[in-house]
A and B are shown apart, each in its own frame.
Chain A
Amino acid sequence: GQSLEQPSEVTAVEGAIVQINCTYQTSGFYGLSWYQQHDGGAPTFLSYNALDGLEETGRFSSFLSRSDSYGYLLLQELQMKDSASYFCAVHPGNTPLVFGKGTRLSVIA
């Protein structure tokens, strides 16, 4: 089976940097994805790491360490619109993505 752990809530100040961690246990592993979901909306894809290291997409970066079964999402220059829930998801390979329970990010002025 698979299990993922991520913090339930994080609060950060506008303009700051925040890191959302994700640890996982899985019987098979192809990669780690990150999704953003605003209240009342659908999850939207942010990034996917199949290899160790850092992937950067604008203000968002995602990191993966396969040996540590660990990844994180880094959000820089936080904006109020970044207030949302963020989900990490494991790609086991033989079945669809398995999602964590999500981290609710609140950006305050």
Chain B
Amino acid sequence: DTAVSQTPKYLVTQMGNDKSIKCEQNLGHDTMYWYKQDSKKFLKIMFSYNNKELIINETVPNRFSPKSPDKAHLNLHINSLELGDSAVYFCASSRTASPLHFGNGTRLTVT
């Protein structure tokens, strides 16, 4: 199946831990993104990479570090997790000037 796939689907962890979310797309897109959706369903961009290069870095704590080993992968590592990091994190990809294709999301719960 052609898709944007991210793992894990659910992540429950304690404050202070470090965790990673992985994302892969097999659509041949050049650009990949991480979006955060809060409890009120508001989607906000965090990062964007084009061909492994960071092109958008919104005001996100530096505890969040994206890594793109190649243009088909964009992983998100989060250090020292806080309660406010609880949200659904969506990976997405696109070609230039084309709609985003989203992954199914990772629901992160920090306790």
Binding between chains A and B: no
